[in-house]
Structure 1
Amino acid sequence: MTRTICLNADIGELPGHNGRAMDRAILDVVSRCNIACGGHAGDETSMGQTLKAAKARNVIAGAHPSYPDKENFGRLSMAMPAEELKDTLRQQVRTFLRIALDIGAPVEHLKPHGALYNDAARNAGLASIIAAVAREARLNVLVGPPNSELSRAAAEFHLNYLPEGFADRRYQADGSLTPRSEPGAVLKDIKDQIAQVLEFVDQGSVKVARGERILMKVRTICLHGDTPGAIQSAMELRAALHAHDIEIETPTL
């Protein structure tokens, strides 16, 4: 039986011509993408250009909203009243969907970004806000960590859930991502990234920071498009998957 995995990338996050060129290159590798909606990065121009590039390559697009914090790239937690957070997420997603509609680019899923992603994985209230925004926007797929509050909120709001693992991030024993402030949190060597992805696919597990392994069943792997060498790493990862008879697909949900 053929083994398969979905690859996704967070894109639309780097400015200007070089940013769009990197997006187009990584879109040639992945089957889903998560496009910045203006909260942590991106604007209406970048959204439109990135959506057009995804549509041209038949890559399924998703909204990638965040805390409204461009200064810190959405990587710091923010204490916001629930309705205020819901309003800013709703505004980001509505703007993104309006642009997508004008272009004729289908949008299927929502994936929160950065600190919001990590916070909502642990906080049921935040997860419910995100699931409610997705439901209101008629985005029927939520992307996030397996066995998290986001997965439970997806079930509560009758959304499909796509459990995700990261190629280039070290995990903690509880299944959370190791904070970027800690040494070794980011796997920079492509060989380490490939080994981690193969473990996800073959064993449904991952080696964590202290050396032991934990079960982690994922259906999609995230590749970051904003890091140095991201395109080369993505191409090498795709080649490694093919060499192990693993096909890249978009799962039916």
Structure 2
Amino acid sequence: MLLNCDLGESFGAWTMGMDEQVMPYIDQANIACGFHAGDPMTMHKTVRLALAHGVTLGAHPAYPDLQGFGRRSIAFSTEEISALIRYQVGALCEIAASEGGSLRYVKPHGALYNDMMRNEAILDAVLVAVQSSPQPLALMAMTTADNQPLKTACHKHGVALMLEAFADRAYDQNGYIVARSQPGAVHKDQQIIVEQAKNLSEGKTIRTVDGTQLHLEADTLCVHGDNADSVAAVKAIRKALGARG
């Protein structure tokens, strides 16, 4: 099971996350492209750091919402959504190439990610942008109890799919992560996080917020490096799942 992490979210004089501390323990870096966080220098530094640790590069595009950290939905047309993704991915592609690397996948961020999972037209707009890249890129998207619509859409556009689960988020019975506004949406206990990561990696069921058991198909687990506690959790997950590669 691969571990992925949202990184490169500092910009200007503002620092976000502990990228240097978490990078040695992950397999995939989802790098902010400037719309919800990040800036050109941060993108360069994050790409350089990921390549130094042999971590796969991915783009993490979002709605243009620095103030809301990309967590607010914005009513763009589907053409606008495709364009804003191309803009962000294109910038990171060029930066990656300048550092001797290349992008492998796209994982939308925040509200765009959630909207894509619940709105077929937005998912289609995202896939149009991903498919039109000069180099082949996969889409990283949220696994749920029913992945068939997602698989069908990716097949239609000829885009490879990586299914993502979350080690530190609570799930409902339909396989969707619980909104952050709800109590218990984010697991804080390291033991619970590691247990959920192990169960997901071994194909076992996890417990939902209503007490039912849920099976999720997953290729990669999202972890976080926002603070010392989250980095410690990533280290524990890495130890439990085994060495990278």
What is the TM-score of this pair, normalised by structure 1?
0.89
**What amino acid does structure 2 have at the position aligned with 1:193?**
I
Give the percent of matched residue pairs that are identical in Structure 1 and Structure 2. Answer: 34
Partners of 1:120 and 1:149 within 8 A in 2:
no
Match in the other structure for 1:239: 239
| Structure 1 vs Structure 2 CA RMSD | 1.9
Task: Find the counterpart in structure 1 of residue 184 from structure 2.
Answer: 184
**Could you say which residue in structure 2 is the equivalent of 1:42?**
38
Q: Which of 120, 135, 138 is the matching residue for 1:141?
A: 138
Aligned partner (choices 3, 11, 18) of residue 22 of structure 1? 18
Cα separation, 2, equivalents of 1:125 and 1:173: 24
C-alpha change, 1:21 and 1:78, in structure 2 (3 Å) is: closer
Per the alignment, residue 64 of structure 1 pairs with 60
Contact residue 173 and residue 214 of structure 2 kept, 8 A? yes
Q: Which residue of structure 1 aligns with residue 171 of structure 2?
A: 171
Structure 1's unaligned 5+ residue stretches are none
- Which range is displaced more, 186-195 or 16-25? 16-25
| 2:49 aligned to which of 46, 53, 67 | 53
Matches within 5 A, 1:1-253: 5-15=1-11, 19=15, 22-137=18-133, 138-146=135-143, 147=147, 149-227=149-227, 229-242=229-242, 247-249=243-245
TM-score, with length taken from structure 2:
0.92
In the alignment of these two chains, the number of paired residues is 241
Give the Cα–Cα distance (whole angstroms) in 1 for the partners of residues 17 and 184 of structure 2: 29
Letter in 2 for 1:181: S
List alignment gaps of at least 5 residues for structure 2.
Answer: none
Higher RCO (C-alpha 8 Å, min separation 6): 1
What displacement does 1:71 show? Answer: 0.8
1:207 Cα offset (Å): 1.5
- Whichever residue aligns with residue 140 of structure 1, its letter is L
